[in-house]
Amino acid sequence: MPQSVSVGEGKLVIDSSFTVSANGHSEPELQVAVARLVSQVGRQTGIPIQGGPHPTLIIDCPCAAPGYPSLDDDESYTLDVTPEAAHLSAHSVMGVRHGIQTFSQLIAPGAQSFFVPTVHIEDRPRFPWRGLMLDVSRHWMPPQVIRRNLDAMAAVKFNVFHWHLSDDQGFRVESKLFPKLHELGSDGHFYTQDEIRAVVAYARERGIRVVPEFDIPGHTTAWFVGYPELAAGAGPFQIERNWGIFEPTLDISREQVYTFLDALLGEMAALFPDPYFHIGGDEVVDREWRENPAIQAFERNQGIPDSAGLHAYFNRRVQQLLAKHGKKMVGWDEVLAPGLTNDVVIQSWRGQKSLRDAALKGYRGILSFGYYLDHVRPAAFHYAVDPLGAEAKELDSQHAPLILGGEACMWTEYVTEDTVDSRLWPRAAAIAERLWSSASVNDTSDMYRRLESISRWLDGFGVQHHSGYDRMLERLAGDRPAPALRVLADAVEAVGIDTRQEARHYSSFIPLNRLVDAARPESETVHELSELLDRSISDPARHQSDLERVRAAFSQWQANVGLLKPIIENNFLLAEAAQISENLSKTGTIGLRGLRFLESGQRPPSDWTTTAQKELNEMEQPHAEVVLAAVRPVKTLIEVISQPASLSGRATGNHAGGRDK
């Protein structure tokens, strides 16, 4: 949602004569952005764009010699659409790119043609750091997965790709200086340096900075497979296959480790033009430090009181190394300790309080607390989290700008290249809006309405959050069409990391090919049904057709168990879904009965209500690592019909209306 929008009368037609012209200084990066828009318009509309004599979109931008995208870029733009043409003006290519995305977002099929509405937009981001972190260590993500997600990121105006490239489960970049890092630490799943450069160039073309993360001194098991001499503990080491927090840690008391890091960070720094470089620094387990006599001796000699002090010493040294290679340090909350120069940026998984405290000491910060997409919470949950909310609200106008923005995070214990798109999109777009739009843009139901449309628009950028769904369901069903499986999957929601890690012992060897992996984080079907039901309840007479659609859905749920049974039988992947399929049927049955009470205006017998509510509450618990979202609208229904007549004003009034019909 732009900072300011005013919609006028009339429409700008989009057809095969679509043409873009650039006034002012034209420049290769601008031309690339324009060419991408033209091909995007073609894809979005299916129209072969031929161009024409009169420009549809006129771009005005000095755009002289843009460098690598930067935190200081002026990203603002103005888009003015009239029935004759659209005018986009901006101070930088960044602004043009954003304006182009807004323009393409506005294209819709109308009564006569595709069109863009007449509109005047003034827009600029609220925060300059709007990122998405992707962990490619726990599950490998090939370059094409990165590329399509960069396209989707650019579409929703994210401008930082934070690439979590090493962890206990894998070191994912080719190192020419220390080849055993990727040769022994990646199972062969690593990016060559050419691939890294290609991804960085691809991101740059889309106005996205790439910030690499090499997590140190913990989260380094994969390093030690090739270089055990760097470790604080005794080897031998193997690539970690489990999820959790592990003990292997760099021996940061040894000068040799700093020599190694100097060379490695230098090599890696040269691959990434961005001035920021992420060193992780989180979840350091100090047992090996405490049990290693040499490290303990080092602490004593240096007058370092404890492990926290040792970690702080390490961070100061690393910051100096990075500075030598022209980089500013970014780290998780834990890196913040006395002695760091204040160009460090703190990424907080702990919350706004951390950021406030850091800001008061003069440190800049970005928020990730509340933006962990792998927790698989609703978009509304993330949408409500504000980098300047909670304790950060207290910051004055001098310190508030130290909060640079935030980053959505995708840790991939339970996410593979098959499922990552559906775990990211469309929910990440809600975070993108939180970081771009005004804090006062916070109407959740309006957000969901727009998110639905964005989700479909994003599909045209190649991300497979839609198309991967059917593919995974068909793999589950074997080789037959299985609409009944889709009915079930549409009615459930995947759970996140918390529930999954309790459900069974997972590791990188465990396939992620089950119903929970296919299921979406939020059920669009149930969301829509809830809205239909709310309308029906508020006025059944006026919304008779909505009520019929709700009834049809409940009937379908009720009947689905029978249709799904032959598919589930003898299918080891789906056996676990038998109970939830039964539950969906039961939910449908309760819902149908509830609708009859709603229509008759009669209050249900209280024992029926009690039983129904108890069953619904039970069925709302996760089974087979999915939640039966279908329960939610039925619970609402039961709540409404079971209220005393005097309290259920809306419903009672409507029943009268319904009976009059």
- The residues of the shown chain that bind a copy of itself, judged by CB under 8 A, are 16, 44-48, 50, 108-113, 416, 418, 452-454, 456-457, 459-460, 464, 466-468, 470-472, 474-476, 478-481, 508-513, 517, 524, 528, 545, 548-549, 552, 559, 562-563, 570-575
Query: For a copy of itself, which is the closer residue by CB, 139 or 311?
Result: 139
Q: Return the axis-axis angle of helices 444-459 and 143-155, rounded to nearest 10°.
A: 130
Rg (CA), the chain: 27
Cα dihedral value 283, 284, 290, 296, nearest 10: -150
CA 150 – CA 371 distance, rounded (Å): 18
Query: For a copy of itself, which is the closer residue by CB, 85 or 108?
Result: 108
The one catalytic residue in 122, 247, 267, 283 is 283
Query: For a copy of itself, which is the closer residue by CB, 44 or 159?
Result: 44
Query: For a copy of itself, which is the closer residue by CB, 368 or 585?
Result: 585
Closest distance between a copy of itself and the C-beta of residue 570, in Å?
Answer: 4
What would the DSSP string read from start to end of 192-258? -HHHHHHHHHHHHHTT-EEEEEE--SSS-HHHHHH-GGGBSS--------B-S-----B-TT-HHHH
CA 562 – CA 600 distance, rounded (Å): 29
423 in Cβ contact with 376 (< 8 Å): yes
Closest distance between a copy of itself and the C-beta of residue 104, in Å?
Answer: 12
| CA proximity to 359, closest of 404, 426, 416, 409 | 404
Q: Which amino acid type is present at position 336? A: L
What would the DSSP string read from start to end of 570-618? T-TTTGGGHHHHHHHHHHHHHHHHHHHHHHHTPPPPHHHHHHHHHHHHH
List Cβ neighbours of 194 (8 Å cut-off, separation of 6 or more). none
Query: For a copy of itself, which is the closer residue by CB, 108 or 285?
Result: 108
| CA proximity to 213, closest of 310, 100, 298, 133 | 133
What would the DSSP string read from start to end of 203-215? HHHTT-EEEEEE-
- Locate 92 and state its tokens: 């930088």
Locus of tokens 């003034």 = 122
CA 312 – CA 337 distance, rounded (Å): 6
CA 244 – CA 301 distance, rounded (Å): 33
Query: For a copy of itself, which is the closer residue by CB, 377 or 475?
Result: 475
Closest distance between a copy of itself and the C-beta of residue 362, in Å?
Answer: 45
Closest distance between a copy of itself and the C-beta of residue 517, in Å?
Answer: 7
Closest distance between a copy of itself and the C-beta of residue 477, in Å?
Answer: 8
- Locate 480 and state its tokens: 């037959």
Query: For a copy of itself, which is the closer residue by CB, 362 or 478?
Result: 478
Q: Is 283 an annotated catalytic residue?
A: yes
Query: For a copy of itself, which is the closer residue by CB, 357 or 493?
Result: 493
Closest distance between a copy of itself and the C-beta of residue 43, in Å?
Answer: 8
Closest distance between a copy of itself and the C-beta of residue 485, in Å?
Answer: 12
Closest distance between a copy of itself and the C-beta of residue 513, in Å?
Answer: 2
Closest distance between a copy of itself and the C-beta of residue 422, in Å?
Answer: 13
Burial class (CB in 10 A: 0-12, 13-18, 19+), 617: exposed
140 in Cβ contact with 417 (< 8 Å): yes
Question: Residue 323 CB: number of other CB atoms within 10 A?
Answer: 13
321 in Cβ contact with 327 (< 8 Å): no
Q: Which amino acid type is present at position 25? A: H
Query: For a copy of itself, which is the closer residue by CB, 285 or 541?
Result: 541
Tell me the torsion sign for CA atoms 311, 315, 321, 325.
Answer: positive
Residues with catalytic function? 283
